[in-house]
Every structure is written in structure tokens, then in C-alpha cells.
Structure 1
Amino acid sequence: MLDSNNDLARLDDPRPSPPPGWSDEDAGKAARYFAETEVVIWTPGRSRGRPLTFQPLPDFAPVLDDRDELDSALGLAVEALAPRANVDGASAKARKGKAILRQALGYFARSGGGDFAAFLGLLAALPLEVSQIDRADQIAAELGQLLTAATINDPLFAGRGVPANPEQLLSPSMGKRARVLYVMDEAQALVPATPKTEALASTLTLASQARKYGLGLVFATQTPRGLHNHIAGNATTQFIGRINSPTQIEVVKGLARARGGHADRVGRLETGQFYAASDGIPEVLIRARQCLSHHPADPLTEQEIIERASG
């Protein structure tokens, strides 16, 4: 889960007392949840707690023999690096720099790859055969300098800490089993309608291909107007809870109509009520059970998050 508001770090906290309407069935589900669930908190951008960094280059080795998969991996790597190298614009200079960046990445991948430091070394001394673009070696060296500056200015970018490796992040501890569901809270910050973000290209690719690999995705937002339209377009199932903003209400009603629903009462829904719709399932008004874990109104402080992650 991506928890930008520190709301979800309490998923391991039992309720101090049963809430109103809490049944014996709820109590049993809560007991099973806490017995079988493992909550691990990572602290990206912090040296304390459980540091996490994002390495900008994937492992190209597994896709070298598949042209389509390699092109996809190179495309995502270029989109991740281009803003940092200042070549994501529409000017002639930016287009030329982006082309050299892609050619350098392709050469790097086919030459055995390596870590980001190795790629920076390649940019610093780009072989002449990599690109036919005039002064490609000089432009590549400048790209390398800009990317090096990015590692200094942003501690998350190729910095210290455990790399965000899905195998490590998603592998359960001994005696546990993993059922992978990727949840993005405040999703409009990662995949907004505008402007373009560094996470946009990779997240849209994930949204379009996750089903093929059996990965479940949840995009949660209170401002659906700000969410990229490809997210709603690729969503198999949608839940619509209470919204107060007239502008946002019109947006969710439009989403509901696209699936044959109406969401007429979206501004008057009660706690726990949602409009639900899915492929082959028309809109229905449901009442969700209360959360099994304890989530008071005030989120955890940064220090409390770090202490939990350290534990």
C-alpha cells in the first residue's frame, strides 16, 4: 500500500473496544485477520525506520530475448529518467536528448546491464557506435551529469536503503502466505489527469497489464476528477462512497452512467454505504462491514511511523 497520509499504518492495531453494531462474526473475522496478517512499514526518504529507495533501472536480463518486453522495459526506463535529465519536453533539444538516452539504455541492456552507477559511467564515455546523432557523446555526458545531480537532490532516487524490489517487498515471512493486492491511496497524486508525473507512465502500464499477471490493483481517491481517465477505463470494479463536492459528484455520476448506473444518492450516502458495479454486475447499493483494525481520526505522526517501522 502507498500511504501518503499515514492513515493505513495502523492496519496492525486491534480495536480497543467493539464499535456499535459489532457482531460475533465481526469479532471472529478480526481475530483471524490479526492472527494471519503481517504488517511491514517502510519509510522511503528517511534514514531511520526501514529505509526504501527506488532504483530507476529494471533488470533487463530476463527480457533480452523478447523484443516486445525489452522495448516495454526500455520505454518505462526512459520515461522514468527523462524528467530527471530534462529531456521530457517538446523542444528539438529535448527530443534529441531523449533519443540518445534511449539508445544508451538499449546499448547498456544488451551489453550486460548493471546498476545505475554503471549506466552513469556509460553516459560519461558513450561509445561512438551507440548513436549517429551529432555530438551524442557530449550530450550523453551532460545527461549523466543531470542524472547524477538528481541522485544528490532526491534521496529516494537511486539512493541508500533497501531497493524497492517486488520480490523482497511482497515475499511473506516464514509461516505466512502472500495474496498480492497493490493499493494506492490518494491515487490522483500518482496518476493525475494533469500534470504529468514521474510515476504516470509506469502506473498506466501497470493498470493496463496487471490483470494479465494476476495482480490486483486498488486506486483510492476523494477527487475522481483529478484521476487519469485511463484508470477508471481499466477498472473492472468500482466502489463509490459519499462525496460532498458538487463538481466531484458530477464526475462520479458520469462514471456510474458509463456502467449503466446512476449513483443518484452519492451525496447522501451513510457511513459504510457504497455503490458497487463490476463487469457483468449492474450497479447495486451495498453496506460494507466496519474495518477490522482501529483507525482513529488523527493519523500517526512521522515519529510514530518511524518507531513502528524500526520495531
Structure 2
Amino acid sequence: MDRSWPNWPSGRWRAGPAGYGPRCGRPGWYQPHPLAVPIRLDLVWERERCVVEIDGDDHRQAAKFAADRARDVRLVEECALRGVSAIVIDPNNDLARLGDPWPEEPPGWEAGDRERAREYLENTDVVVWTPGRAGGRPLAFQPLVGLPSPEQRQSFVSQLQMELFVWFKRHPAQDRPLGALPVTDEAQTFAPATGTAASTRSTVLLASQARKYGLGLVFATQAPKGLHNHIPGNAATQFFGLLNAPIQITAAKEMAKQKGGDVPDISRLGAGQFSVASEESAFTKTRVPMCLTWHPKSPLTTEEVIGKSRR
């Protein structure tokens, strides 16, 4: 995600060690004020006033559901504020409220978020698609309420991914670092660790080659054990949130070990807390702000999603 501001926000900025070349960014930190928790930044270009943040794995534990989901939502919102479109593959209707304002200001907002939420809601077009549902908006992307079987969803996602890949090969994002942001929730259902789904090949292809054409990717899963190993293997940045199931904790720790790090407290993370690692750094704990739009714990029903698609 490209974070380019006309002016840097107030606060303390600190870049990491040099040595990545004159055209490359480097890890750094931003602290909004002296009492705030420092925010780890994957890459900082101080002269160009640009920061890059890429999110990764997701989870949905009941007690932390709304706060944890805010991370992926905020990523899409921040991209939209910078003119980068997102295609969200949402099998469980968790992200269909990307156009809904908060009924009241949430406690997790930071300075300036009220204005950013207003700007997002006034200037962003959010369209809900319902493939296979004639009563809604039947022809494309988000969420997949009209495709009841896993095989239908996987086939649709495969076609969508290949169309995206072909289009961006012909029209790479040459003048900006990020051309678009496809977000795949429940990624383990489209690229499983065992067996082969209709979308496995296309998902692995995107994960391994899309970045060279300026296509950002987010794969979210609450079951890292069930995800094809080529997905985390090609992820520039990985986020781990709270996990409770022993088998998933073991899988997450193994994935962290492959990046030369560890996530010892993954079962004790609080709301909005994550362990994050990039290509140039090991895992460290960070905190993300609340999303700009309203996403309560319960996802929308199929009927509610169809209603939104008619707007």
C-alpha cells in the first residue's frame, strides 16, 4: 500500500539502517506523539515522503472479531484514499460493509481519522457484486453469495485471477508502485495445502508473479495450516494475529521460523495487536488503527448483501 502524503503527518519519523540502495526504501518507525505506541513501517522513502505497508494473514476469533478484521478493512480504505482500487473476494460476507459509516465514533480512532472517514465515504464508490444471483448484481466480484458450492467459487475466482493477471501483464503499473489490490479472504479454500482446487494454479501464479506488474495481493486466513505453502513463501510481509487452536499456532510458528523469526506470544495478542515481518526484518509486535467504516461482529446475511448490491 502506497502511503504518499502531500505533507508528512505530525509526529516523530525514524528510518532504519541504510544499505538498501539509492532507489530502495528501508524499514522505519512512526510515532504520532510521545505517548503513542510506535508504528512499525515496512519501507520508508524519506525524500519522496512515501511509506509502504503491506498486510497479510487474517483471523476471526469471536472475542476479537471486529477489532482484528479492522486491519484488512483499513488496508482497503487507505488504498482507496490514494486512488488504488481493490477487488475483495469475500466468501463469508465479512467485508460487505465497506461503504457503511460508523453509527458513532469508535474508541480506536487516531488523530485525523474522523476527517479521513468523511473523505473516504464521500469519494469512494463501493459496489457489491453477487455472482449467480439474478436478484442482486449478478456478474462479478464481491461477495460470493450467489455461488453456493466451493467448486463454483473456486472456478469463478480462478477466472477472475487469470483475467487480472493477463490485464496487468499488458498494462503494468509503471508510474506508481501499486496498480490495484485484490484481497482474498478465507484464502485456504482457494489455495489449499493438500489436494488441488480449481483456483490453486491461478492463486499460486498470482502470488509468485503479480508483484512485478504492480499488482498488490492480500491473502487472509484463520487456518495457516491449511494454506498452500507457496502463498506465505511468496509473501513480502506477513501479519499474525491471535490464534487459539494448537494446530494453527504450531503452523504459524513454523511459518515464522522459515522467515528466521518467532511468534512466541501469538496466543496472547490483544485486539489490534499483530506480529509482523517483512523481507528485511524478523517478526516484531505492532498495533493497527481501527477501520474507517463500520464492521460489527456479525457478518451480513445473504439477503442483506443482495439488498446492498441493488443500491
1:301 maps to what in 2? 301
Deviation at 1:270, TM superposition (A): 0.2
Aligned-partner Cα distance in 2 for 1:208–1:155: 22
Residue 157 of structure 1 deviates from its aligned partner by 7.1
> CA RMSD of the aligned region, Å?
3.0
Which stretch of the first structure deviates more once superposed, 45-54 or 229-238? 45-54
Counterpart in the other structure of 2:95 = 8
Task: Look up the equivalent residue of 1:299 and give its one-letter code.
Answer: P
Task: Report if the CA contact (8 A) 1:181-1:217 is conserved.
Answer: yes
Partner residue of 2:219?
219
**One-letter identity of the residue aligned with 1:250:** T
- For the residue of structure 2 that corresponds to 1:261, the secondary structure is coil
> Which residue pairs with 2:234 in the alignment?
234
- Structure 2 distance, partners of 1:286, 1:244, is 19
Which residue identity does 1:224 align to in structure 2? P
Alignment match, 1:259: 259
User: Partner letter of residue 188 of structure 1?
Assistant: Q
Residues 40 and 53 from structure 1, CA distance in 2 versus in 1: closer, same or farther, beyond 3 angstroms?
A: closer
Structure richer in helix, relative to its length: 1
For 2:282, give the aligned amino acid: P
Distance across 2 between alignment mates of 1:190 and 1:35: 33
- Residues 263 and 198 (structure 1), Cα distance of their counterparts in 2 relative to 1, 3 Å cut: same
Using a 3 Å threshold, how does the CA distance of structure 1 residues 305 and 212 change in structure 2: closer, same or farther? same
Q: Distance in 2 between matches of 1:222 and 1:14?
A: 26
What pairs with 1:150-161 in structure 2 (closer than 5 Å)? none
Check 1:165–1:206 CA distance in 2 against 1; reply closer, same or farther (3 A cut): closer
Aligned residue identity for 1:191: A
Cα distance, 1:37 vs structure 2: 2.1
* Pair 1:154–1:296, CA change in 2 (3 A): closer
Cα deviation, residue 36, structure 1 = 3.0
Q: In the aligned structure 1, how far is the partner of 2:153 from the partner of 2:238? A: 35
- Deviations 1:260-310, CA, capped at 9 Å, x for gaps: 221111000000000111111222110000111101111111111111111
1: CA distance, partners of 2:111 / 2:288: 16
TM-score normalised by length of structure 1 = 0.60
- SS of structure 2 residue aligned to 1:183: strand
Q: CA 1:196 to 1:155, structure 2 compared with 1: closer, same or farther past 3 Å?
A: closer
> Helix, strand or coil for the counterpart of 2:94?
coil
Partner of 1:43: 130
Percent identity for Structure 1 against Structure 2: 49
Distance 2:97 2:242 in 1: 23
Question: Residue 33 of structure 1 corresponds to which residue in structure 2?
Answer: 120
1:244 paired to 2:251? no
1:297 partner letter:
K
Equivalent AA in structure 1 for residue 274 of structure 2: F
Matched to 2:241, the amino acid is G
